Structure 1
């Protein structure tokens, strides 16, 4: 019911897809399937990988570790990565219940805020001297903070244990900073798939999860809130909008991407 894979520094998305597929295969046979992957690469949004098993009636969990930019709770230097966690469960409504979030505040919104000259909310990052800051520029050169303080810290460490730890691969500060690596940086991935049919929820879980989601959406909104959503609702709406209208890209971000491609000696002459 378990497997240990060596990604040999291949592309992250196909490696993660293969690991999750193997975990689902093992869950179908044994009730549980757990797969750890070493020598991987950046895998992108974890929701991509847990959604497919959930559509087949499984419960799926995915984790990935990353370069150590997030400080431990109360600390001022990076210990682990943003270390995301995603899970999905089946429903009878077509789309599964999906949750995908990082355990540490992500760098991308901070960089975007710095580019646009906007402040960031308190509690996201420290500056280069370890002081709390709302200055996005200072935060971009500082340290990220765990989401929810001690909660994000503990969950972030759990991700490192289940990814790098189980895979006998780098974890915590052993993962090299992306800025110092010219090539693969050896992050790890963990997939867990559960077959509800092997437990007491046989035949009823999907319907009960749909009822749970409906109950969440029917909750009276707090003052200033338009509606209460179930995890994944906003992402489904955004996906539909993007498929219909395209993906918005600011001119500044587009030019920045082109400069990175040029710096990597890639031909952009045919790119508008």
Structure 2
């Protein structure tokens, strides 16, 4: 079924607000999820919302937290996410990074204990819109097997990079695995088989059954190169944020544990002279105009496909599985939820410290 941009935003905001999420925080989280749908990445879209709401209902997510931060050095901001919504904590950090990078040239935030960021392109696009280069890394549960291995020991460890130009920025958003676990879930929900080589089952055997892959391991992209990049990002995030390593990460794919993964956001003041920006834009256009191996498929640069899909989706809406839409409708409480009769887990965790 087709859903409109505004209709989906309104529903997501309502579902979040009913569970005590401040209006502007609900708007941020809704925008991240719906933008993923508009750009053709449903694995990071509305299918993540039921789990997010369940985490709120169980007291594992603090909808009003925006994180506590301090500057470890002139250019390094350390953020305790306090189990807040990932986009809220990240955007609070980005506001400080932009201010600091204006004087230092570069600034980064190391975040721990906030919830899932969603589509990383959303963040670097915001950074590029302010004329800066943006880089974002995020960690996850152990979902990826080492090159030559069969059991999951690494996170999917996605990264995104945006470079502003005189035209549209270059935006690269990718995981270090063949595919995200969100996409595995999307295949399982739609009953489609996985392409060969994407995943292994619980016993370590190659599988095209998405349901079996959900309990197994995803392959790193590009063999040893993707594995090497993935393990480097794993260590980089843990070293900077003090967050858990993949085998001990919880909370991004479940509704029964506090989230303890890490994120790193980098803002670089590009300060490019106008002619440099024009050169970058002209170079990307030259790449697009280069000969294609398939006449009906012109060469694109990273971000082009997502931009085209977004333009189409804004006009025509986007597809969503009827069962998912029905599930979201069923989660509508109609009226704001009453105060909880139990102490949320994020409060209990804080009392231990």
Q: Distance in 2 between matches of 1:158 and 1:23?
A: 23
Is 1:217 aligned with 2:288? yes
> Aligned ranges for residues 196-215 of structure 1 at < 5 Å?
196-197=270-271, 202-215=273-286
Q: Distance in 2 between matches of 1:143 and 1:212?
A: 39
Is 1:267 aligned with 2:333? yes
Q: How many residues align?
A: 260
Distance of aligned partners of 1:205 and 1:15 in 2 relative to their CA distance in 1, 3 Å threshold: farther
Is 1:99 aligned with 2:172? yes
Q: Secondary structure at the match of 2:77?
A: strand
Give the TM-score normalised by the residue count of structure 2: 0.68
Match of 1:235 among 293, 306, 311: 306
- Residue 109 of structure 1 deviates from its aligned partner by 2.6
Specify the alignment match of 2:83 in structure 1. 9
Distance of aligned partners of 1:9 and 1:115 in 2 relative to their CA distance in 1, 3 Å threshold: closer
Match of 2:258 among 168, 180, 184: 184
- Residue 80 of structure 1 deviates from its aligned partner by 2.0
Q: Secondary structure at the match of 1:36?
A: strand
Per-residue displacement from partner, 1:238-270 (whole Å, max 9, x unpaired)?
Answer: 1112222222112233345567x4xxxx6379x
Q: Distance in 1 between matches of 2:234 and 2:191?
A: 33
Specify the alignment match of 1:114 in structure 2. 188
- Residue 228 of structure 1 deviates from its aligned partner by 0.9
Q: Distance in 2 between matches of 1:258 and 1:74?
A: 44
Q: Distance in 2 between matches of 1:241 and 1:211?
A: 25
Q: Distance in 2 between matches of 1:267 and 1:130?
A: 42
- Which segments of 5 or more consecutive residues in structure 1 lack a partner in the other structure? none
- Residue 85 of structure 1 deviates from its aligned partner by 0.3
C-alpha root-mean-square deviation of aligned residues, in Å?
2.2
Specify the alignment match of 2:141 in structure 1. 67
> Aligned ranges for residues 34-183 of structure 1 at < 5 Å?
34-93=108-167, 95-104=168-177, 105-176=179-250, 178=252, 182-183=256-257
Q: Distance in 2 between matches of 1:195 and 1:256?
A: 43
Moved more, 156-165 or 185-194: 156-165
- Which segments of 5 or more consecutive residues in structure 2 lack a partner in the other structure? 1-74, 336-353
- Residue 177 of structure 1 deviates from its aligned partner by 6.1
- Residue 225 of structure 1 deviates from its aligned partner by 5.6
Q: Distance in 2 between matches of 1:58 and 1:179?
A: 32
Contact 2:250/2:258, CA 8 A, preserved across alignment: no
Contact 1:39/1:169, CA 8 A, preserved across alignment: yes
Give the TM-score normalised by the residue count of structure 1: 0.87
Per-residue displacement from partner, 1:64-105 (whole Å, max 9, x unpaired)?
Answer: 111111111122221122111001011112x21111111112
Per-residue displacement from partner, 1:33-71 (whole Å, max 9, x unpaired)?
Answer: 111111111011111111122122211100111111111
Q: Distance in 1 between matches of 2:154 and 2:252?
A: 13
Q: Secondary structure at the match of 1:40?
A: coil
